[in-house]
Amino acid sequence: MRGLLPWLAVLGLVLLLSALRLRTLAAVVSLTWLAWCLWTWVRPARRQDRPR
């Protein structure tokens, strides 16, 4: 449930902006969220162990 909360918050924000007829801002928020999700999925994983 904890991982679902940011998704629901962004969805709620986009729906609210759309209802307020701020569809351009809602689209910007949606695309920014999508870009962030793709970046966190594609970026190289950080190494846990660092050579000394």
What contacts 13, CB < 8 A, 6 or more positions away? 26, 29
Q: Are 35 and 41 in contact (CB under 8 A)?
A: no
Q: What is the mean pLDDT of the segment spanning 16-35?
A: 97
pLDDT at 43: 84
Q: What is the percentage of the chain residues whose pLDDT exceeds 90?
A: 67
pTM above 0.85, yes or no: no
CB atoms within 10 A of CB 14: 19
Give residue-wise pLDDT tens across range 15-24: 999 999 999 9
Q: Are 29 and 10 in contact (CB under 8 A)?
A: yes
Q: What is the mean pLDDT of the segment spanning 12-40?
A: 96
Can you tell me the distance from the alpha carbon of 47 to that of 26, in angstroms, rounded to the nearest whole number?
Answer: 36
